[in-house]
Amino acid sequence: MKLQDKLIHSFEKFAQNKQGSETEHLSKMRAQAMATFTAQGFPTTKDEEWKYTSLNKNNKRDYELESDFSLDLTPEDVEGFLCTGLDSYKLIFVDGVFNPSLSSSALQDAFSVTSLKEAYKGNTEVFNQHYGSLADAKLSMVALNTAFAEEGAFVHVKAGAVVDKLVQILYINSDSTKAMMSQVRNLFVVEDRAEVQILERHQSLSDDYVFTNVVTESSVGNEANFKHFKIQNDLDTTSLVDGTFVKQGAKSSALVDTYSFSGELTRNNLHFEFAGEHAEAHMDAITLLKGATLVDHHTFVDHAVPNCQSNQLYKGIYDEKSKGVFNGKVMVRKDAQKTNAFQQNNNLLLTDFASIDTKPQLEIFADDVACSHGCTIGQLDDEALFYMQSRGIPMKEAKAFLMFAFAGGTLKNITIPQLKEQLINLVAYELKVDLELNEAMH
């Protein structure tokens, strides 16, 4: 049975098990979402937005939809997947279930950092107001997630509050007995003048296939400050479809940074919407791939009101038979005068077998704007390599240093020293850069 058919047949039993434990509103939301997915099915390469990314392999695999096996993990088992060296709030999920013993959540008057299930029980008003309000339920993968999702991370920061620590969210798959598919849902509500920084990572401990479909809704209030960092560095048997929706109020600042290093298939759908004037949005990404890995970045920024600014900087380095996709669209609506929108995608192809499909787009219906977009696809500069070799630097190290310099700029918005150091080390490790030698050269 194809995965699509399995999901459709499983939903009736799933919905029956939920009767009596959820509100009528949530039950109807699930049913409507499943009707949408049943009608559309998984997206295919015949869909314009998915023409370069196929889910056929995933749809043919016999994924289980819930785990009946879970390793008894210790803090030491998960430490290597977290940003260490700093105090933080932690939300750890193992095989789709929130693990309180590994986590350090927070339920304070000013803010809540907890699981979505706990939020549904204890913070119902905020949950009901925002859950499902931002994600586009007409999209089949969002609809699938809405139909089945019941667990994930919940962060609510009340007006004027500042979350004093980094929030780390880690999803662990430990089931080594079967291929697994999971539906993960995050809800972040940052009220007026509030601040929070979040780090998210998905990690499999199993060599079997894992398919994660995650949806994140982020409501950012007026004058709020929100940062969301994503590390995508999983095993080659994992697939991730990530739909992130951000809505910003007036004078707010929101950032989503994505660092993609491995995995069989990764699809990032990032949707920003401006709902208030004088807001800023930042999207930075570095993609470093090898093998037969595919990472597809799709962004959409909706400038619906005047006097807002968006900045996108996506850089990619593709080795061996890896493939990248960048499809970035900026919409400037008729009344969105004084818009500033900048979009740049720069790529390096290290072999003749690596490839990148890039399509930056602007749709502008206002006349008083400053907008630009562009892309570059190239190889390492032979003159720069020759110069470095003439100064006694071997070819291998020279290439690594040039790639490391190329990747720079995507880490500029990280203000937590420990997190910045970890990401620099990750980039250096992937590029095989000796950081001590790099520092000595400067």
pLDDT value of position 437: 47
Position 441 pLDDT exceeds 50: no
Long-range contact pairs involving 416-420 (C-beta distance under 8 Å, separation at least 24)? 416/83, 416/86, 416/166, 416/197, 418/83, 418/84, 418/85, 418/86, 419/83, 419/86, 419/166, 419/199, 419/229
Position 435 pLDDT exceeds 70: no
What is the rounded average pLDDT for all residues in the chain? 93
Residue 157 pLDDT level (bands cut at 50, 70, 90): very high
Mean pLDDT value across residues 78-85: 94
pLDDT value of position 413: 85
pLDDT value of position 232: 98
Residue 383 pLDDT level (bands cut at 50, 70, 90): confident
Q: Which residue has the higher pLDDT, 289 or 413?
A: 289
Please state, in angstroms and rounded to a whole number, the distance separating the CA atoms of residues 345 and 341. Answer: 14
Residue 1 pLDDT level (bands cut at 50, 70, 90): confident
Residue 438 pLDDT level (bands cut at 50, 70, 90): low
Q: How far apart are the first and last CA of the chain?
A: 58
- SS3 per-residue string spanning 217-276: EEEECCCCEEEEEEEEECCCCEEEEEEEEEEECCCCEEEEEEEEEECCEEEEEEEEEECC
Residue 440 pLDDT level (bands cut at 50, 70, 90): very low
Can you give the pTM of this predicted structure?
A: 0.95
pLDDT digits (tens, 9 = 90+) for 350-378: 999 999 999 999 999 999 999 999 999 99
Mean pLDDT value across residues 164-177: 91
Minimum mean pLDDT among 230-234, 320-324, 393-397: which range? 393-397
